[in-house]
Structure 1
């Protein structure tokens, strides 16, 4: 029998409580027009969204700012305690402020709110207590009701911060979809790391770094072997006299041919051993699509084409080097 302090039971209980809290936020979000009006106000904004909070709420505010910025809504973080020591100057006349506070009644918030109202900027309150000072003073209330923290002492912000985080994500995604923010837009804001590469790295960015092994369809076996060995991509394209792609020969094709061939090797030509209609990919396709095609067919290279014409190869090693595998 599991003990009362069993970590698995405790973890499951915490996750269940936090899941129920998020469901509770979803249940009340339609009870007031404030959420939809807040989205509309931010969409029409000429300035930035400034998100503020104190304590654990400040951490949630920082994450919300990061999500907004990465999905097309310019945003800044302002710590509520630092605001009255100079950081209030970051807020401009066209900005919009979101203040996060579970209680909505902390001393720092009570000092900050009159200063924000004096600046005349719209204020949204992301609060658990919709009757709090912050909620009453705000133009919009983003209600994230939480009756109890997951902490057994009902002290450490856990359930409340999770609910606030989820509501912030909901706001960011609403703005994203309202702006028809695309994968290409996302890529422009995420150029670094594997995620960025998945969204912007093109086949041509990699294939242009490689050599372009090619032989004519009447090339002899020796020429084929030298081309594959010299260009170090494990394959060569086979072209006809009109420079049209007619097939591919890989080092595997050579090994299989040498195992079964019984005639004169000096009579072998590229047409005798090529694989017709090889798998190709366009030079302007994303590199992740090249990876998907290689994985689907269990191969290590693709012929790259530009408007149907052969222009090189992309190899699995190219994708490994970029961290896409």
Structure 2
């Protein structure tokens, strides 16, 4: 029994080794054709249509999803379904990324119609002499790959290599687009990833919902602003004559002062505000705002631009609204 277990483990190690080798061998196969594929996709005015059948089709769905999530409009179509109406999705400005290890699958039958439409074809194949390779505009040749399957038949190392090459292609285009975290977050608004990459500007209260008061304004008037602004923010950013932030006043400050009587209500807001308050910049991540609110046990935070002008306010309720 122990020998059988070891034998299984040894076989599994061989599978992992051969799949790792398949990816490693791709490194030296990247050439001018890969660069051409990157340039075609980067400059594509339409969408990248990924197609394949069988295991290659499943890999194609993932590659298409990676392209779309990194700023390259893309969708996947099944090679068989394409012959029964889905070809209508492809237009002249599109690029068809066709996946087939053998280069002789049903994907090949689409090429005459794709060429007639006028779309460019980028092939990802393990056979650069195949029909697919011969009739494509750019060929990403993976080379002959040994499958770990004991029969040498089940696609495994080849599909792993195809997935890795697709990632390399999508992420290289992503890097070439020079997009930032904010752009990436735009395509990932949901889930843990979306929460981590949300910026303060995306969730803060701004424009008419941003309460701001001049430092010489009577406190009673400031309280009106705090309670009548949309969303009842319960806080106000205080600015000087240059419209720069000089203080912050919250309903928490109001409660603390009330312990000593009500005479302060006839003061100007500058006499009771918190000077030099904690702030956050609009381009910062929401996660950073969350940390400040948590660490300092406060409920609101003024949001400023690079010139220290208040452009918004972020409330703990806003963070709850996006899942923090």
Query: Would you call these one fold, judging by a TM-score over 0.5?
Result: yes
Q: Give the structure 2 partner of residue 28 of structure 1.
A: 29
Compared CA separation, residues 256 and 150, structure 1 to 2 (3 A)? farther
Match status 1:318 vs 2:315? no
Q: Distance in 2 between matches of 1:11 and 1:76?
A: 34
2:84 match: secondary structure: coil
How far off is 1:161 after superposition? 1.8
The 5-angstrom pairing of residues 193-272 of structure 1 reads: 193-194=190-191, 195=193, 198-199=197-198, 202=201, 205-206=204-205, 246-247=246-247
1:4 match: secondary structure: helix
Q: Give the structure 1 partner of residue 172 of structure 2.
A: 174
How far off is 1:192 after superposition? 3.7
Deviations along 1:60-88, whole A, 9 cap, x unmatched?
Answer: 22222233334343434332222333333
Q: Give the structure 2 partner of residue 137 of structure 1.
A: 135
Deviations along 1:264-301, whole A, 9 cap, x unmatched?
Answer: 8789999898754211134xx14x53531442681244
Q: Give the structure 2 partner of residue 4 of structure 1.
A: 5
Q: Distance in 2 between matches of 1:201 and 1:305?
A: 10
How far off is 1:44 after superposition? 4.5
Compute the RMSD of aligned alpha carbons: 4.8
Q: TM-score, normalised by structure 2?
A: 0.69
1:217 and 1:271 in contact (8 A); partners too: yes
2:5 match: secondary structure: coil
Which segment drifts farther, 60-69 or 273-282? Answer: 273-282
The 5-angstrom pairing of residues 77-156 of structure 1 reads: 77-106=76-105, 108-117=106-115, 121-145=119-143, 147-156=145-154
1:49 and 1:75 in contact (8 A); partners too: yes
Compared CA separation, residues 136 and 250, structure 1 to 2 (3 A)? same
1:52 and 1:79 in contact (8 A); partners too: yes
Match status 1:159 vs 2:177? no
Compared CA separation, residues 253 and 151, structure 1 to 2 (3 A)? farther
1:292 match: secondary structure: helix
Q: Distance in 1 between matches of 2:19 and 2:72?
A: 27
How far off is 1:179 after superposition? 3.8
Q: TM-score, normalised by structure 1?
A: 0.68
1:149 and 1:159 in contact (8 A); partners too: yes
Deviations along 1:124-166, whole A, 9 cap, x unmatched?
Answer: 2201233333223333221224633354554433322221122
- Aligned length, in residue pairs: 312
Consecutive unaligned residues of structure 1, counting only runs of 5 or more, are none
